[in-house]
Structure 1
Amino acid sequence: MGDTRGEKTHTCGTICLKYLLFLFNILFWLAGGAVLAVGVWTLVEKSDYISLLNSSFYSASAYILIAAGLIVIVTGIIGCCATLKEMKSLLIVYLVLLLCIFLMEIIAGVLAYVTYQECFPFCYQLDEELRQNLKVTMQQKYQQEGEESITQAVDRLQQEFKCCGSQNSSDWSDSVWIQREDNVRFVPDSCCKTPSELCGRRDHPSNIYKVEGGCIMKLEEFILSQLYILGAVAIGIAFLQLVGMMFTCCLYQNLRDDPY
């Protein structure tokens, strides 16, 4: 009887399921690491824009990615342990975690898609308050004492997105810094296509960026494209998890039929 039980426990089907599920968990773990890395990168590299928008939306998105990455990594580790050790109770925990992550990803993906669709007909317009915040921030805080981080963020924004001003370059005419008596510039030097000292004295289209819609439009397009990609990836990974849940259920069934 002992030999028969051993043969049943290690049938070809069970072994294949174990290795398929183990391979899935490795990929799942790597995906979690990638999501975590993107979240950290977003928070570190793009944190300048958070202060410009005066909104928690961007930082919240980054923290959600980091949390999701950590949860996926932990879930992947649990899945590997449950698969290799053939622990039925741990397989149930793993299956429940997969199901919870699956539901969260579906919800997040649908919400991201709905938000993108609602914004699209209005030319990628975000909340008007965000637009006004960016304009006021650029006009009131640029090159002001104690606002060095804002100044660097504005310069980086204008250079990275090749734009000038919140909605257009004329926004700078109301800037506290531009209106100073000792300032000979019309726009910051970061508005120039080829930045150099005092290049902002000439605001001709051949010298500075004259983008219709200004930096707010560029920033909106960037954030909404990231939101759209995030939603599509979340839904794609969620359906991939269905395969993992199917493998888990099959392996659990085989182990339950062959108790030891």
Structure 2
Amino acid sequence: MPRNKISDIVEGRILQLLRWGYSQSLIVNILKLDGIHVSQPTVSNVKQKIGRQRNSESKIKIFRKKPSQTPSIIKKVIEKIDVKEPPTQRAIAKDLHISQSTVSNIIKNSGFTLRKKQKVQKLTSSNVMKRGQRSFKLYRRLARGRYKNFIPTDETWFYLDETSGRRKVCYIKKTDPDYDRMIIQQNTSRPKGFMVWGGVSSQGKTTLRFVTPGTKVNSNYYINNVLKPFLTKDVPRLFRKGKKLKWIFHQDSAPSHTAKETIKFLEQNKIHYITPQEWMPASPDAAPMDYSIWGHLKQQLNKTRIDSIEELKKKILYEWRKMNETRRYFSTPCIQSSTQIIDDSDKLFSMAPRFQKVVRTTRRDDTEISRCIKYSMFGFNILFWILGFMITAIGIYAWIEKDTFDNFGRLTMRGTLFFDPALVFVLVGVFMFCIGFAGCVGSLRENTCLLLFFSFALAIIFFAQLAFGTLVFIYREKVKNEGEKQLMIMIESYRDDPDLQNMIDWIQRDWLHCCGVNNYRNWESNIYFNCSSKIVGSVEACGVPASCCRAEYFHNNKQCGYGTLESSAGTHMIYTDGCLPKASQWFERHILPVAIVVVVLAVLQILGICFAQNLRNDILAQKAKWIWHAHPMMNYYRHQ
């Protein structure tokens, strides 16, 4: 179907209106008033001087040469967008005389992308310093799920003027704008309203508490009308029995909150609270009541018109009950665990900088973990691990050789179980194996749980040794008597356990050169060396073990101890002094070497504890830095 033609007179009027500066849509309306009906595309064709196409029966295809993206054009576009306040793409295209699509393609191919700016708290130098000092400690306190026991509270004002039900947007005509619609008149006089206190947690919401208008909220009012009802009603409801001691209370720095009476009340009731000195300044998103909850309530209240204070209270309570606190609270970027931060990395998280070295560019630029401490821990503990395994194997082998597993009652019959050398080897070896494994694998794999177990185990050993030494010094006479009693039991069981026999022989012959506990006659308590054994024909009756013989006689006569317990026998071939007094004399002579060994062992244990805790803190700091460097708001804090 051929297109309709317009007369030269109409085309002339269109050109005249275009020269006068009228828009295409306005030209269509002006001609319509004169009874001339033309379309806006027709006016556009006249403006672009394509009359032949307009009057032709078939559409003439017009090919426009695509503007080339020359290096100079690309450079100019990048210079215009790579600034803090870039102009629009339309303004760039108009300024450089290129199309807007060309500008868009240049931006896309140059690696730039458009993002909406996010509003954050403006940080002063004092804010940055305080955050660097407090943030990582606060993050450690509330991370890994501990934020679920966190109860942030806050107060806010609700006014009737904010609940008029008026929309904050309007529509106006372009040709006849009604500017009165765009104005919201505010009453400059004192508005009617009241203050409300509330709080949220993962366990639920607290009860809202309204402050009567005109009441002065001081420390006494805050304690009696807010804190006491909160502790007696809200806390037992939110945290059941067994969980009450785990929750953490937070309040802002209002004068009634930081007053001496309020702090004293919190400490007397043993409430775990975050002090203003621990909280980071200018962090509304770390306080969800201030950041999200109150804003949500006010937004809901503004949808309806409220005319009285009582009606406003009822509406607030209705919206508070209706609000799903779990969704509202945990959808806000408040204190979260490391896993949730990674999952919700697109949200604003103003807890940073979590540590003072937050200005590093990426997580691989430098590491918080000291390689010297890490591999020193690994090398020392792998030796400790292998040594523990070897000691355990020796103890188990000794038990197998003397059939202890088949005759276990033989050790427990006379109470010598814990004096069995093989058992001592097994227990010590297993303990060393576990500690060495935790320290070795924990340091190599950077496992904080194993490092924590390693440091706690060393701490238990250290304090157990300290307590044992203190008790021995205080009750030395009682310890001496008890030791003498246990040594007499060991003498009585001399022939029952080969390992025990070898240990006693080594003490008497090679170490202390002694015989018996107090003197050589203590061997009469052993059934094999008692003189009554002559009845059964025992050759060892009225004698002592060969380990009691002096070295010069032992090599020539293995039976030098036989008959020495008889009243008429001589004792010049055996040691007559007991092992207990000999041991006391040996420690007195070697007090300095023994003290040096004890001090060295204590220092090694303390160093092991310090190294493990230092490595563990470095690992946690490194993990926190990985999380924060992945956050899109990192660039903001680097430049503060």
TM interval, shorter chain, is 0.5 to 0.7
Partner of 2:520: 169
Taking a change above 3 Å as real, the CA distance of residues 104 and 230 of structure 1, as seen in their structure-2 partners, is farther
- Counterpart selection for 2:549 from 186, 192, 196: 192
CA distance in structure 2 between the aligned counterparts of 1:122 and 1:72, rounded to whole angstroms: 33
| 1:208 Cα offset (Å) | 0.6
Q: Classify the secondary structure of the residue corresponding to 1:8.
A: coil
Q: Does the 8 Å contact 1:54/1:130 carry over to 2?
A: no
Partner of 2:439: 76
Deviations 1:50-96 (A, max 9, x none): 9698434445654442232121222133224424xxxxxx3x32342
Q: Does the 8 Å contact 1:134/1:166 carry over to 2?
A: no
| 1:257 Cα offset (Å) | 1.0
- Larger RCO (CA within 8 A; separation ≥ 6): 1
- What TM-score, normalized by structure 2, do the two folds share? 0.30
Q: Does the 8 Å contact 1:35/1:66 carry over to 2?
A: yes
**Structure 2 residue 614 is matched with structure 1 residue 252:** no
| 1:22 Cα offset (Å) | 2.6
Q: Classify the secondary structure of the residue corresponding to 1:187.
A: coil
Partner of 2:428: 65
Q: Does the 8 Å contact 1:79/1:94 carry over to 2?
A: yes
Superposition pairs for residues 1-260 of structure 1, below 5 Å?
8-14=362-368, 17-35=370-388, 37=390, 54-59=415-420, 61-83=424-446, 90=447, 92-118=448-474, 120-121=476-477, 124-127=480-483, 129-137=485-493, 147=496, 149=498, 152-153=501-502, 155-160=505-510, 161-172=512-523, 176-178=527-529, 179=531, 180=534, 183=539, 186-188=542-544, 190=546, 191-193=548-550, 194-195=553-554, 196-201=557-562, 203=564, 204-211=570-577, 214-215=578-579, 235-240=602-607, 241-259=609-627
| 1:31 Cα offset (Å) | 3.0
| 1:42 Cα offset (Å) | 7.4
Taking a change above 3 Å as real, the CA distance of residues 148 and 124 of structure 1, as seen in their structure-2 partners, is closer
Between Structure 1 and Structure 2, the one with more helix by share is 1
Partner of 2:161: none
Deviations 1:128-179 (A, max 9, x none): 54244245445xxx5xxxx473894455553244222343223345665452
| 1:192 Cα offset (Å) | 1.3
CA distance in structure 2 between the aligned counterparts of 1:130 and 1:137, rounded to whole angstroms: 11
RMSD between aligned alpha carbons?
4.7
Taking a change above 3 Å as real, the CA distance of residues 108 and 29 of structure 1, as seen in their structure-2 partners, is farther
Q: Which runs of 5+ in 1 are unaligned?
A: 84-89
Taking a change above 3 Å as real, the CA distance of residues 150 and 249 of structure 1, as seen in their structure-2 partners, is closer
> Counterpart amino acid of 1:169?
Y
Taking a change above 3 Å as real, the CA distance of residues 82 and 31 of structure 1, as seen in their structure-2 partners, is same
CA distance in structure 2 between the aligned counterparts of 1:230 and 1:9, rounded to whole angstroms: 43
> Counterpart amino acid of 1:24?
M
> Counterpart amino acid of 2:470?
V
Deviations 1:17-64 (A, max 9, x none): 13431332222332344455556667878xx9x969843444565444
| 1:239 Cα offset (Å) | 1.3
Q: Which runs of 5+ in 2 are unaligned?
A: 1-358, 403-409, 565-569, 631-640
CA distance in structure 2 between the aligned counterparts of 1:42 and 1:221, rounded to whole angstroms: 31
CA distance in structure 2 between the aligned counterparts of 1:55 and 1:230, rounded to whole angstroms: 29
Between Structure 1 and Structure 2, the one with more strand by share is 2
Number of matched pairs: 236
Taking a change above 3 Å as real, the CA distance of residues 233 and 64 of structure 1, as seen in their structure-2 partners, is farther
CA distance in structure 2 between the aligned counterparts of 1:243 and 1:175, rounded to whole angstroms: 51
Q: Does the 8 Å contact 1:53/1:134 carry over to 2?
A: no
Q: Classify the secondary structure of the residue corresponding to 1:9.
A: coil
* Percent of matched pairs sharing the same residue: 12
CA distance in structure 2 between the aligned counterparts of 1:115 and 1:173, rounded to whole angstroms: 32
Q: Classify the secondary structure of the residue corresponding to 2:518.
A: coil
